[in-house]
Homo-oligomer: A and B are copies of this chain.
Amino acid sequence: MRRTVSEVADAAGVSVRTLHHYDAIGLLKPAEIGENGYRYYGREELLRLQQILFYRELGLALAEIGPILDDPGFDRLNALRAHRAALEGRIARGRDLIRTIDRTIESLEKDEEMEDCDLYAGISPETRARWESEAERFWGAEAVRAAQEKARSFSKERVAGIKREMEEIRADFTRLFRERADPGSDAVQAVTARHHAWVSNSWTPDAGSFRGLGRYYVEHPEFRGTYEDELPGCPEFIAEAMSIYADRSL
């Protein structure tokens, strides 16, 4: 019932080197070492390896796994909670980074293809894909496809007009956000109503259904999140991101 390194390695899906390493740092010692110096592992060690891999999978450092397995009275709960909190922090940070990257991408694209007369010019393919999947969930794939079909038939002037109007509403929202206007105020209501009317005129496949409009708008690059949810970033985001450092280094 003794297994060699490669047998254990194959069975557990790790490399031989990994077993050597775990042995070297004292995390998993072989049950027995032959006269020839060979490492031999038993059932006990296999179970321990399983647990090691389980905690490793959770992202715990090898140095932390040893104590957890060795001390039965170890406070696994707190160890896990701490690790969980760290993970949440990393996720939140990752989301921030993605937002910044999206805005960077959009800015770069704006610079590059200013002449593009597409309705989606200046909006990253990622964001556009998100919009579309959002819209499909609310209105159905059929309705969205029909709307896109219709949009393709618009004249250049019509497209330019729509884009301008969209820009105006965007500018209004930006101003309100900047001023941290009360969501219940008349000014916000007016812009929201104008936005809703515009969306229903220009975009909504079924004008009768306003469900999800808020969330649809949520994904606009400038206003990510619902109105109550989160304040938007500055449009000159690159300048803003740079200024974090510029403030200190100039």
Contacts and interface: CB of A to CB of B under 8 A. Distances in A.
A230 B104 CA distance: 32
A109 B76 CA distance: 10
A84 B126 contact: yes
Given A46-B250, A242-B50, A250-B46, A58 B101 contact: yes
A77 interface: yes
Nearest to A13: B248
Q: How large is the interface on A (under 10, 10 to 19, 20 to 34, 35 or more residues)?
A: 35 or more
A46 B249 contact: yes
Nearest to A84: B101
A234 interface: no
B58 A108 contact: no
A246 interface: yes
A49 B249 contact: yes
Interface in A31-88: 46, 49-51, 53-54, 57-59, 76-77, 80-81, 83-84, 87-88
Interface stretch (A90-98, A139-147, A210-218): A90-98
Taken together, the copies of this chain in the complex come to: 2
Contacts of A83: 101
B84 A13 contact: no
A8 B250 CA distance: 9
B94 A94 contact: yes
Closest 7 CB pairs of A and B: A11-B249, A12-B249, A50-B245, A91-B94, A84-B101, A53-B245, A46-B249
Interface of A: 8, 11-13, 46, 49-51, 53-54, 57-59, 76-77, 80-81, 83-84, 87-88, 90-91, 94-95, 97-98, 100-102, 104-105, 108-109, 112, 126, 241-242, 245-246, 248-250
